[in-house]
Amino acid sequence: MKRSRLLSVFQYIFATLITMGTLSPFAWLFISSISFQTDLTKVPLRWIPKQITFSRYVDIFTNSNNEMAYTFRISMMNSFIVAIGTTLIALIIGGIAAHAFARYQFRFRQKLIYLFLFTYMIPSVVIVIPLYLLLDQAGMLDSKLTLILLDLTFVIPFVIWIMQSYFKLLSKEFYEAAAIDGCTRVQTLWLIVLPLARPGIVATGIFAFLLSWDEFFFSLLFTSSLDAKTVSVAIAEFSGKNAVDFGMVATGGVLACLPPLLIAFIFQKFLVQGMTAGGVKE
């Protein structure tokens, strides 16, 4: 058994390295957010600061006079509104379409599915030049509603692609039973399909939220003020400056990470299902 002991030592060393590699950037981001600027700019660097401060967190939630803190607070709100709005609309519109794709046969069905997939795949850069000129003329730049509409162009195709594979798993007998009981199509969808597909819907919804929370390109180009600027744009802006409170950028980063991290933590099972749906076949 000597060989397998060697292997298991190897296993533990590798596991420790992965754990450190995964967690240490997070740890450093968090330490930076609670350190004083003087400690962060000390050479040689002290890893554990002598004093810690949560004042940046307090500033972000309450202080409107600190420009960076205020920008982070408002842009976080914008990100929430855009991401939740996009998720809800995409789940409804995309879910209904996905159900039709999975349940019924009609002309161009397969072609349309691939067309949606292609729309999800094409790089945003291919549509933004005319879009910018158009939105500028229509006076629709710098608006959360515009961002939601633009995010929908890739979140709806994503929802359709994932959800139709969930809906296909539902047995035909459910529909037949519902039809015998005299359910209309809408009733069947609402009373039978929806509850049965709930895990799939939750997984898809989580993904849709993460996708729109992470969206950067449209927000960068089409927002300019705190009316619609998202937290990613705010962080990119501050992190691009040279003389800046690094701790404050780190604090913004920690807060912007929190919603997706919490989701990843709580809904891990759903996420793994959603991630591998359509990719890993049983």
Partner 1 sequence: MKKMSDKTYAILSITPAILVVFGIVLFPLIQTFLYSLKNMDLTSSTRGQFVGIHNYVNVLTDPNFWGSFGRTAYFSFVSLSLEIVLGLMIALLLNEKFIGVTFLRTIIILPWAVPTIVNGAMWKWIYHPEYGALNALLTQLHITSSYQSWLSSPWLAMNMVIIADVWKMTPFVVIFLLASLQLMNKSVYEAASVDGAGVFRRLIVLTIPFLIPTLLVLIVMRTMESFKVFDLIYAITQGGPANGTMVLTYQAFIKAFTNLQYSQGATISYLIATIIGLLTFVYVKTLKAEEGI
Q: Name which of residues 15 to 74 contact partner 1 (CB under 8 A).
A: 15, 18-19, 21-23, 25-26, 28-29, 32, 40-45, 47
- Residue 62 C-beta: closest distance to partner 1, Å: 22
Which position among 198, 217, 224, 227 is part of the footprint of partner 1 (CB under 8 A)?
Answer: 217
106 counts as binding partner 1 under rule CB under 8 A: yes
Which position among 68, 74, 76, 131 is part of the footprint of partner 1 (CB under 8 A)?
Answer: 131
72 half-sphere exposure, CB direction, 13 A CA radius: 27
- CB 238 within 8 Å of CB 244: yes
118 counts as binding partner 1 under rule CB under 8 A: yes
Q: How far apart are CA 2 and CA 138, in angstroms?
A: 74
- Between 55-62 and 246-266, two packed helices, what is the crossing angle to 10 degrees? 80
Judged by CB under 8 A, the stretch of 51-59, 60-68, 92-100, 193-201 that binds partner 1 is 92-100
Nearer residue to partner 1 within complex by CB, 23 or 64: 23
Q: How far apart are CA 199 and CA 53, in angstroms?
A: 41
Which tokens in the block code for residue 88?
A: 């809800």
197 counts as binding partner 1 under rule CB under 8 A: no
- Between 2-34 and 55-62, two packed helices, what is the crossing angle to 10 degrees? 60
Neighbours of 280 (CB within 10 A): 9
- Residue 61 C-beta: closest distance to partner 1, Å: 19
210 counts as binding partner 1 under rule CB under 8 A: yes
Residue (of 202, 206, 216) closest to 260 by Cα position: 206
Nearer residue to partner 1 within complex by CB, 64 or 133: 133
142-161 footprint of partner 1 as x/- string (CB under 8 A): -------xx-xx--xx--x-
SS3 at position 108:
coil
8 counts as binding partner 1 under rule CB under 8 A: yes
Which position among 216, 224, 227, 241 is part of the footprint of partner 1 (CB under 8 A)?
Answer: 216
Which position among 58, 179, 194, 275 is part of the footprint of partner 1 (CB under 8 A)?
Answer: 275
121 counts as binding partner 1 under rule CB under 8 A: yes
Nearer residue to partner 1 within complex by CB, 65 or 105: 105
- Residue 216 C-beta: closest distance to partner 1, Å: 5
82 counts as binding partner 1 under rule CB under 8 A: no
221 counts as binding partner 1 under rule CB under 8 A: yes
Q: Which residues contact 260 (CB under 8 A, 6 or more apart)?
A: 210, 213, 214
Number of residues in contact with partner 1 under rule CB under 8 A = 95
Peptide bond between residue 260 and the one before it cis (omega within 30 degrees of 0) = no
134 counts as binding partner 1 under rule CB under 8 A: yes
Q: How far apart are CA 52 and CA 67, in angstroms?
A: 22
- What distances in angstroms separate CA 61 from CA 84, 107, 263, one per listed residue? 20, 54, 21
Neighbours of 82 (CB within 10 A): 25
178 counts as binding partner 1 under rule CB under 8 A: no
Which position among 139, 182, 195, 279 is part of the footprint of partner 1 (CB under 8 A)?
Answer: 279
Residue (of 86, 56, 88) closest to 73 by Cα position: 56
